Amino acid sequence: MNRIQKIIFIGFFLVLALLVYMEATKPQPVNWFPSYVNTDKIPLGTKVFFDLFEEKLGTQLQIIKESPYVVLEDSTFTGTYFFLNDEVNFDEAEFNKLQEWITKGNTLFVSANYLSYILKDTLKIETQTAWLRDKIETEPMLNLINSALILKEPIHIKRNLNISYFETLDTLKQRVLGVAQPNNDTLKITKPKVNFIEQKLGDGKIILHLQPEVFSNYALLNNDENLAYTQGVLSYIDTSRPVYWDSHYKSGTPLSVSPLKFLLANKHFKWAYYILLIGVLLFVLFEGKRKQRSIPIFEKQKNRTYEYTQTIAGMYLDKKEYSPIVKKQIALFMEYVRTQLRIPTQTTDNEFAKKLAARSGNTLEDTNELLTFMNSLTNLTFHSESHLKELYTKISDFKKYTDGKS
């Protein structure tokens, strides 16, 4: 390596070291993902709440990682089943099991922004999202209505969040426990929207709450009044019996990942890995040219391309599981509609299609075509690779307009 090469090499590494230092010391952006996982310390994780809950209940609090359909096969499973997530979407078989379990004297507690269709249809309820016309952001104000639990002033979560409420109720069967309203720069709830109800079912009951953020790290660490409200909500649970914490319906449920993905997820490991690759590349560029070695002659190997291709093809034939991917693509699109376009997805009727077309920048015809295609896929029990490809293409084309507007 001559003098000029050494200067270039040293200069390159000095610049690289400066970039690594700047990247490593850059503050991490706050992660507002609604995970609701009991070990997450991010704002919308529930480590603080779970630790307090566990401290109060002790061994009475148990974590359940399986589907309710599997868990409720156990006849000794009695108490309160506690569901907390951004969306709790029971299927019909699960909810039938839950209903049977509740009527035997047990309690189902659900706190979520979005409830499953089967649950709402069974209880004859409809939900909607509250918002203010003269404000871009909607910050929830919440309170309880029981005279023993009501707070002097409603709690105010100073964060732009969805405020879901029950638009229709069966007042003969359901009891109102709490209300909500978008913050309108007052200290009172002047136009209450019901967001917390209870309904008896046989010898048991169902408790539904539509603001899961009150259980998050952000809400509980931000204001002591928020903790008082959360305690009031939990007062409707019989803590003398076991409480089962659902870990199955969680947006932030950890997935198994490859070691390389784990390394790249940490910025320090990521840059160490990049530096190693760059160092190897530079070594090859500067040292490889000067130390050329003779290329040994090897006996020509037998062409096994056909056998290899057969093996790979067999693997794909064995795992043609396109249906879960199709369902996940549709679920992710609906999540995109709710969070990015701020349109409720409980019902996908003509009014929903008009709102979606207007806010996404697509034509109503294209919007109806996409929704119709999604509905047809939902009704199918088997999906092919062509279904998956066509769905991906239609969603990508649809979102181009919205991405262009933003």
- Bridge partners of 49, per DSSP, are none
Which residue's entry shows tokens 């070695």? 293
Nearest to 252 by CA among 20, 4, 37: 37
Integer-rounded Cα radius of gyration of the chain: 27
Higher-confidence position of 114 and 266 = 114
In the chain, helix, strand, coil percent, each to 5?
45, 15, 40
Residue 325 has a pLDDT of 79
Average pLDDT, the chain: 85
What does the DSSP 8-state code read for residue 30? P
pLDDT exceeds 90 at position 341: no
Residue 164 φ then ψ, to 5°: -90, 150
Residue 309 has a pLDDT of 41
Three-state SS across 310-349? HHHHHHHHHCCCCHHHHHHHHHHHHHHHHHCCCCCCCCCC
Average pLDDT over residues 252-263: 56
Angstrom distance (rounded) from CA 181 to CA 211 = 11
Element (H, E) at 206: strand 204-209
Q: Please tell me which of 21-30, 46-55, 359-368 the model is most confident about, judged by mean pLDDT.
A: 46-55
Q: Are 242 and 60 in contact (CB under 8 A)?
A: yes
Residue 319 has a pLDDT of 65
Residue 323 has a pLDDT of 80
- Bridge partners of 162, per DSSP, are none
Q: Are 202 and 102 in contact (CB under 8 A)?
A: yes
User: pLDDT tens for residues 129-163?
Assistant: 998 888 888 999 999 999 999 999 999 999 999 99
Write b or e for each residue in 135-159: b if 16 or more Cβ atoms lie within 10 A of its Cβ, otherwise e: eeebbbbbbbeeeebeeeebbbbeb
Residue 267 has a pLDDT of 67
Q: In whole angstroms, what separates CA 190 from the centre of its chain?
A: 32
User: pLDDT tens for residues 187-217?
Assistant: 899 999 999 999 999 999 999 999 999 999 9
Residue 203 has a pLDDT of 96
Higher-confidence position of 330 and 206 = 206
Q: Are 154 and 141 in contact (CB under 8 A)?
A: yes
Angstrom distance (rounded) from CA 144 to CA 175 = 12
CA-to-CA dists, residue 50 to 54, 92, 365, angstroms: 6, 29, 47
Higher-confidence position of 319 and 381 = 381
What does the DSSP 8-state code read for residue 142? E
Q: In whole angstroms, what separates CA 7 from the centre of its chain?
A: 51
User: pLDDT tens for residues 56-108?
Assistant: 999 999 999 999 999 999 989 999 999 999 999 999 999 999 999 999 999 99
Range of weakest confidence among 67-81, 113-127, 305-319 = 305-319
Q: Are 34 and 86 in contact (CB under 8 A)?
A: yes
DSSP-based three-state secondary structure for 17: helix
Q: Are 246 and 98 in contact (CB under 8 A)?
A: no
Q: Which amino acid is at 209?
A: H
CA-to-CA dists, residue 223 to 5, 152, 163, 210, 239, angstroms: 60, 15, 19, 20, 24
Angstrom distance (rounded) from CA 331 to CA 366 = 19
State how beta strands 107-111 and 80-84 pair.
parallel
Element (H, E) at 260: helix 259-265
Higher-confidence position of 244 and 350 = 244
Element (H, E) at 268: helix 267-287
pTM: 0.60
Binned at pLDDT 50, 70 and 90, residue 257 comes out as very low
Residue 260 has a pLDDT of 63
